[in-house]
Amino acid sequence: MKASTIAPALFAATMLAMSPSDAIAGPLAVTSYDMPNGDGTAAGGSFNYWDKFYSGSGATTVDGAPLSGGKGDLTDGIVSSQPWYLVENTAGDGPYVGWYKPATANPVVTFHLAGPSTVTDIAIHLDNSNVGGVFAPQAILVDGISQAFTAPAAGTVGWVDLSGLHLTGGSHSIEFDQAFSAWTFVDEVSFNGTPGVPEPATWSLLIAGFGMSGASLRRRRRAIA
């Protein structure tokens, strides 16, 4: 192969190997999430709806306390088929995390993924039992942008699917906007997409690097000639 064709060929092969379309879509690992702890009896609830066994820092038995650097109920793979009033308790170790708008308005949960990725879908399991003031949120914002969604039927629990996304990066926020004096109960959040897809800045650096390699090879060819 001639020296002048090495860089373009290498560039094309590498870009093809790193093409987002070649990445396999699937579940994306969450390494941690940050959020205000759930509320409970201190906010007028029948029980405590904390993320009690959250693995990071923060007071896990205090309503609304900031939690960071760990994981818990929202990513433990435990999905309740029953509404909150059948599975929650005063100990605060039930499957749901619940926030009460007058105490913790429109809570934001920031999820950190295992490296830069492209997120295409987010699934959220929540309670829409309509019992005790518990309703599906009236709006869900991802990275500050409101997303269209269909809530589980009134009187049930179920999944909310946020699909058709194209979110890049390693961290994403989900905000649950509640109606006045409503409770929001969530017990699982999962992400799907393609891992390891370079961000725009990374692509620019790669292109610049290959361009410099090509220029160097051309200079070497002229020197040899």
In sequence order, the 6+-apart residues with CB closer than 8 A to the CB of 225 are: none
Instruction: State residue 23's pLDDT score.
Output: 61
Instruction: State residue 216's pLDDT score.
Output: 47
What is the rounded CA–CA span in Å between residue 156 and residue 95? Answer: 16
Instruction: State residue 41's pLDDT score.
Output: 98
What is the rounded CA–CA span in Å between residue 199 and residue 168? Answer: 7
> 184 near 99, Cβ under 8 Å?
yes
- Long-range interactions of 7-15: CB distance < 8 A, separation 24+: 7/210, 7/213, 7/214, 7/217, 8/214, 10/210, 10/213, 11/210, 11/214, 14/206, 14/210, 15/206
Instruction: State residue 197's pLDDT score.
Output: 53
Return per-residue pLDDT of the chain as tens, 225 residues. 444 443 444 444 444 344 444 468 899 999 999 999 999 999 999 999 999 999 999 999 999 999 999 999 999 999 999 999 999 999 999 999 999 999 999 999 999 999 999 999 999 999 999 999 999 999 999 999 999 999 999 999 999 999 999 999 999 999 999 999 999 999 999 999 999 855 455 445 444 554 544 444 444 444 545
